[in-house]
Homo-oligomer: A and B are copies of this chain.
């Protein structure tokens, strides 16, 4: 291939910024500081989320920003119930290790953000969503990752709490029938971003070698 200049490549610093956000993003649980997130900063992160691509330009996401402590206490209660239930899956030293993990920062973070998906957002027929209807949820997850990476660049931590009863959460947040909570995020400044994911650091599970995850043309063909 002849050497050509690709005018669309970012300069070295900007490119590094993208990789730094990707590689140093963490799921934050115990490192939250109580300092409030200024409103314009929160809007900046939400606007970054809002600029994810979406199937049929559907933009199926909404953002419920929760600062009310009573609501957060009820969400925390749902976490406690689900966490106890999940602990029953483990035994002995694995159970002890499981129970030692701090898995949410619902009350310690200054705000929580629930990112939802409305499957009816763009009407009955959405371009590109006829064959795979789940693409509305996939788009919403792309928005979540935008939020997470922009927050990292701003020195803000995000922790995704997935140990929740979504039926309960829908009730607490008064979500309409067509709206599904996808991510319940704790958001705040932090005292620390760990150099590794918690579960990797704790020896719960190793990072898989990338080459084992790549197949050429057909599954199993390395």
Contacts and interface: CB of A to CB of B under 8 A. Distances in A.
Interface of A: 1, 4, 6-11, 13-23, 25-27, 35-36, 38, 43, 46-48, 50-53, 55-59, 61-68, 71, 82, 85-86, 89-90, 98, 101, 103, 122, 124-125, 127-132, 134-135, 137-138, 141-142, 144-146, 148-150, 152-156, 160, 162-166, 173-176, 179, 182-183, 189-190, 193, 197, 199-200, 204-205, 207-208, 210, 213-220
Given A131-B162, A215-B64, A10 B6 contact: no
A89 to B, nearest CB: 4
Contact of A218 (B124, B174, B220): B174
B103 A128 contact: yes
A82 B10 contact: no
Contacts of A176: 219
A137 B136 CA distance: 12
Contacts of A66: 216-217
Nearest to A157: B8
A215 B149 contact: no
Contact of A22 (B22, B48, B141): B48
A132 B57 contact: no
Given A19-B48, A50-B210, A53-B160, A127 B149 contact: no
A33 B155 CA distance: 37
A90 to B, nearest CB: 7
11 contacts: A10-B20, A14-B17, A15-B153, A17-B17, A19-B150, A62-B215, A64-B215, A132-B162, A132-B166, A142-B144, A174-B219
A7 B146 CA distance: 21
B204 A127 contact: yes
B15 A10 contact: no
B9 A17 contact: no
A6 B69 CA distance: 25
A78 to B, nearest CB: 9
A19 B176 CA distance: 32
Contacts of A82: 130-131
